[in-house]
């Protein structure tokens, strides 16, 4: 997996461990001390561990099979479910309270974006969370994301070795544990967006405008109505997937954008002034702390990436 010429895998692992090192640097500085030393040590040890695992003779390890790895993933999901069910939320991250307060306000006929906890997601994120809200634990949303990740690992792995290394990666990155203990929803949000690509790749014919086409475009619009970063993912994918059927790609995109707008219209009509001052666009712009030229540069690069990629694995990268 990690040969010198396999730049995609090597860069991916490097980015994952860089992000993990940043998480460790921040939170070890708060809770443990020695943040620089621990972050560097983590990156060195884990990088060595992953690259050594690549050298293992997986084919001769008869006790490791796809069924065993599916059982391991199931145990991980059940362990995460137990943690979210019985352990209290840790830290001061406000994403779960923001979701709960948004839904509370929605059902009590108060404009949900006037929450003092500043919910930053688009409306469909909160509708996705509602089944778990009624179960009295919005943290289950992250478990659902973990289940989607597990299915994706099995679906997009070509060998036992590849599946095993992906599971190892899941186990050793602190970001996943962070999302579980603080009851975040970003991991689940990303998995909703990426899993939709997997389904589309399998079932949608780009040259046919039929019921599957319209349903797929509608679902794209709904998932787009979670966070704005999903739009960057979908720009890359649509440019890649519809490059041979540009007209169908335009129709697909217009349907998705129309659904996205329709999800916003009721909230604009509900309280226009509050939507402009406290709505998702205002909050996301405030939290991003990025000048407009950076956002434009990212968007241009995203279009370039969409024109450049040649298969679904490059899209994921």
Secondary structure of 127-141 as H, E, C letters: HHHHHHHHCCCCCHH
pTM of this structure: 0.89
Place of tokens 């996705």: 128
CA distance 164 to 72: 10
For every one of its 317 residues, what pLDDT tens digit does the chain have, with 9 covering 90 and above? 666 668 888 888 888 888 888 888 888 887 778 888 888 888 888 888 887 887 777 666 666 778 888 898 999 999 999 999 998 887 777 788 899 999 999 999 999 999 988 888 999 999 999 999 999 999 999 999 999 999 888 888 878 888 888 888 888 888 888 888 888 888 999 999 999 999 998 889 888 999 999 999 999 999 999 999 999 999 999 999 999 899 999 999 999 999 999 999 999 999 999 999 999 988 877 777 778 888 889 999 999 999 999 998 899 88
Query: CB-based contacts of 113: which residues, under 8 Å, 6+ apart?
Result: 102, 119, 267, 271, 274, 275, 278, 279, 280, 283
pLDDT score at 243: 92
Query: CB-based contacts of 191: which residues, under 8 Å, 6+ apart?
Result: 145, 146, 148, 149, 152
pLDDT score at 273: 95
pLDDT score at 2: 63
Q: How many residues does the chain have?
A: 317
What is the number of helices (H) and of strands (E) in the chain?
16, 0
What percentage of the chain's residues is helix, strand, coil (to nearest 5)? 75, 0, 25
pLDDT score at 1: 67
pLDDT score at 110: 96
Q: What is the DSSP letter of 279?
A: S
pLDDT score at 168: 86
pLDDT score at 200: 92
Helix axes 35-54, 7-31, angle to 10 degrees: 150
CA distance 242 to 254: 13
Radius of gyration of the chain from Cα atoms?
Answer: 21
Q: How far apart are the first and last CA of the chain?
A: 14
pLDDT score at 162: 83
């Amino acid at each position: 997996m990690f040969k010198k010429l396999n730049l995609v895998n090597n860069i991916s692992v490097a980015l994952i461990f860089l992000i993990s090192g940043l998480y460790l640097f921040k939170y070890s500085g708060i809770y443990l001390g020695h943040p620089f030393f621990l972050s560097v040590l983590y990156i060195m040890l884990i990088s060595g561990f992953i690259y050594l695992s690549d050298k293992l003779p997986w084919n001769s390890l008869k006790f490791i099979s796809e069924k065993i790895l599916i059982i391991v993933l199931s145990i991980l999901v059940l362990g995460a479910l137990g943690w979210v069910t019985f352990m209290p939320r840790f830290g001061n991250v406000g994403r779960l309270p923001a979701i709960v307060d948004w839904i509370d306000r929605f059902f009590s006929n108060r404009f949900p974006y006037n929450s003092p906890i500043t919910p930053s997601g688009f409306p469909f994120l909160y509708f996705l969370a509602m089944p778990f809200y009624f179960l009295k634990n919005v943290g289950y949303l992250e478990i659902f994301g973990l289940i989607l990740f597990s299915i994706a690992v099995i679906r997009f792995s070509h060998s036992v070795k590849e599946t095993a290394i992906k599971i190892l990666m899941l186990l050793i990155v602190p970001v996943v544990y962070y999302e579980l203990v603080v009851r975040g929803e970003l991991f689940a949000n990303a998995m909703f967006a990426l899993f939709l690509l997997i389904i589309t790749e399998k079932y949608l014919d780009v040259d046919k405008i039929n019921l599957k086409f319209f349903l797929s475009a509608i679902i794209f619009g709904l998932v787009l109505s979670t966070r704005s970063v999903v739009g960057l993912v979908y720009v890359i994918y649509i440019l890649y997937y519809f490059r041979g059927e540009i007209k169908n790609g335009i129709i697909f995109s217009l349907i998705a954008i129309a659904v996205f707008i329709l999800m916003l219209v009721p909230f604009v009509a509900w309280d226009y002034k509050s939507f402009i001052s406290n709505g998702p666009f205002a909050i996301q712009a405030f939290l991003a702390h990025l000048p407009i030229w950076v956002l434009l540069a990212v968007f241009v690069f995203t279009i370039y990436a969409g024109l450049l990629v040649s298969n679904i694995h490059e899209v994921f990268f």
